[in-house]
Amino acid sequence: MTETPAGLEHRSAKDGGGPDGSGLNVNLQIVAVGLGALAAALAQTLIIPVLPTLTADLHTSTGNAQWLLTATLLVAAVSVPVLGRFADMFGRRLVLLVSLGGLAVGSVIDALTSDFGVMLVGRAVAGLSAASIPLGISLLAIVLPAERRGSATALTSAMLGIGSALGLPLAGLIGDNADYHVLYWIGAGGAVVSGVLIAVLVAEPPSARERSIDWAGIALLAVGLTCLILGISQGSSWGWGSGRILGLFAVAVVALAALTRVERRVTNPLIDMSALARPPIALTNIAGMFVGFALFASFTGTSSYVQAPEATGYGFGSTILTAGLCLLPSGLLMLVLAPIAARFIGSWGPARVLALGGAVIAAGLVFRIVAVDSLWEVVVGTSVVGAGTGVGYAALPSLINHHTPAVQLAAANGINALARSLGSSLASAVGGALLTAITMNVGGHELPSLGAYRVLFAVCAGAALLASAVGLTISAGVLTREPDGSGGAEPAPEA
């Protein structure tokens, strides 16, 4: 017999949640899902600092080693929306466990090999874990007591930024003192522990009765997103005007255009285009792209910035570990501010909190532009950016949940996570183009100039301000009303 959402809430309270939402079982549920989200986020960043080591150990080129990142990114881009839709149809806990299983299996494969081809396969399988964050958000939004959903959603959403901030110093520390294979064992261990806890502690909420799979939609989405992400990630290597890049973008446009037409005619579409086009949802996804763009470019700019030689006039000649430690306070602030942001969301509404987060991110980036003399100034600037990101990441899923029916939560959060990922991919491409275009000669080597970083931070600040403007627009409600005067869909339970 299918358990109703009300039954699930009663069960949580009975198992220790209590009427105030405080209880050991509820806290353990949040920890279980949060740990899986953190492991998935770490998997995307842990190998970045050790890529030079991987290149030597795997006897491959730098370009080939980059495919260890690209393979994960490509699988993640496709799996996030697909697994989100499957979760709404077949069960959110079940599909979350499949996603974490991908991380466990892929990480074990990579931990046991030093062959490039095998490791590439493992990295691709681990890409399934990117769906863990939106799946965890949609699962907790149903099974937790109402008064705990906001803080749990905010914390799980922030894990994407927290994992990025913690992953770099952790990888630098292990890369300098141990075998890099340990990094893969960390991912596998986190996924297994999280999966076991979720299977034991978290109930499976009811799923949709309609379970027909939209194979045409999956195929078109896979082709479109693969070509789009591949074109963005390889543009600087292959040449933005090359036939391969232009061809990839052309195929992406055709496939995604065909996807919109097909999805409007299917009875059980992979992506509900009418819901996706509703102004509050569309604007929130756009804001997610801007926030993802600003955060990723700030992280990338900080890591290379502090490692630049002192002869550049701005760099500090720091090690990879020091560069990672500069980002550590940023991740800690995201962790601390996520539940605090949830309280502001309850008082002000998620749209206003999104506007605040974007403004704080922009302020931190402006500080990075003008304060360039000391390492502590870099730490302060990135910390402010991290604080704003934690607030913004808390607001985004709250907006999605507020304007989405409960039966579509996983799919809707998956699309928003995809939007953030696309923003990060664009940031990587734009940042790489800027840092290679505006250079200076240092000892016969072309290195990015201080002006290049300032332009990068200014572009990121502009993206953050656009996210803030989106929040204000949604808050005003002018563009978020439906023709009948309503605000859109019936909100999910946690709204």
The series of mean pLDDT values per 10 residues for the chain, 495 residues long, is: 38 41 78 92 82 84 82 89 90 94 96 93 94 91 85 83 79 82 93 95 78 88 92 83 92 94 86 84 92 82 83 85 83 83 87 94 94 90 90 89 81 87 83 83 84 92 95 76 43 41
Q: What does the DSSP assignment read for 235-261?
A: HHHH-TTSHHHHHHHHHHHHHHHHHHH
pLDDT at 366: 95
Are 128 and 21 a contacting pair, CB within 8 Å?
no
Task: Give the C-alpha separation, 477 to 486, whole Å.
Answer: 10
pLDDT digits (tens, 9 = 90+) for 160-208: 778 877 887 888 788 778 888 999 999 999 999 999 999 999 988 876 6
Cβ-proximal residues to 200 (8 Å cutoff; 6+ apart), any chain: none
The predicted structure's pLDDT at residue 29: 92
Which one, of 308, 369, 333, lies nearest residue 165 by Cα?
A: 333
Predicted local distance difference test score (pLDDT) of residue 416:
87
Q: CA 217, CA 222: separation in Å to the nearest integer?
A: 8
Q: Which two tokens stand for residue 50?
A: 């050790």
Tokens of 338: 């996520």
pLDDT of the residue at 100: 96
315 and 308 in contact (C-beta within 8 Å)?
yes
Comparing CA positions, the residue from 335, 393, 327 lying closest to residue 360 is 393
pTM: predicted TM-score of the whole model, two decimal places: 0.82
The CATH class of the 1-212 domain is: mainly alpha
Q: Is 21 left (phi over 0), alpha (psi -120 to 50) or beta?
A: left
Rounded Cα distance between 5 and 16, Å, is 17
- SS3 call for 201: helix
Q: How far apart are CA 118 and CA 47, in angstroms?
A: 16
Alpha helices by DSSP H, listed for 239-319, are 243-263, 273-276, 279-307
- Looking at residue 489, what is its pLDDT? 45
Query: How far is 374 from 287, CA to CA, in rounded Å?
Result: 32
Are 286 and 400 spatial neighbours (Cβ–Cβ below 8 Å)? no
Name the β-bridge partners of 446: 441
Classify burial at 374, counting beta carbons within 10 Å of its beta carbon; exposed 0-12, middle 13-18, buried 19 or more.
Answer: exposed
Half-sphere exposure of 35 (CA within 13 A, CB side): 20
pLDDT at site 6: 36
Q: Domain locations in the chain?
A: 1-212, 215-265, 272-495
Helix (H/G/I), strand (E/B), else coil: 347:
helix
pLDDT at 25: 84
CB distance 308 to 435 below 8 Å? no
DSSP labels for 122-161? HHHHHGGGGGHHHHHHHHHHHHS-HHHHHHHHHHHHHHHH
> What's the farthest any 2 CA atoms get from each other in the chain?
73
pLDDT attached to residue 106: 96
Cα 256 to the chain's mean position, in Å? 21
The C-alpha angle 62, 253, 89, rounded to 5 degrees, equals: 90
Fold of 272-495: Growth Hormone; Chain: A; (1.20.1250)
Q: How far apart are CA 298 and CA 313, in angstroms?
A: 20
| Secondary structure of residue 246 in the 3-state scheme | helix
Domains 1-212 and 272-495 share a fold: yes
Beta strand segments in 336-430, E: none
Which pLDDT score, from 0 to 100, does residue 219 have?
Answer: 94
Supply 54's token pair.
């991987």
State residue 471's pLDDT score.
93
Lookup: tokens for 476? 């005003």
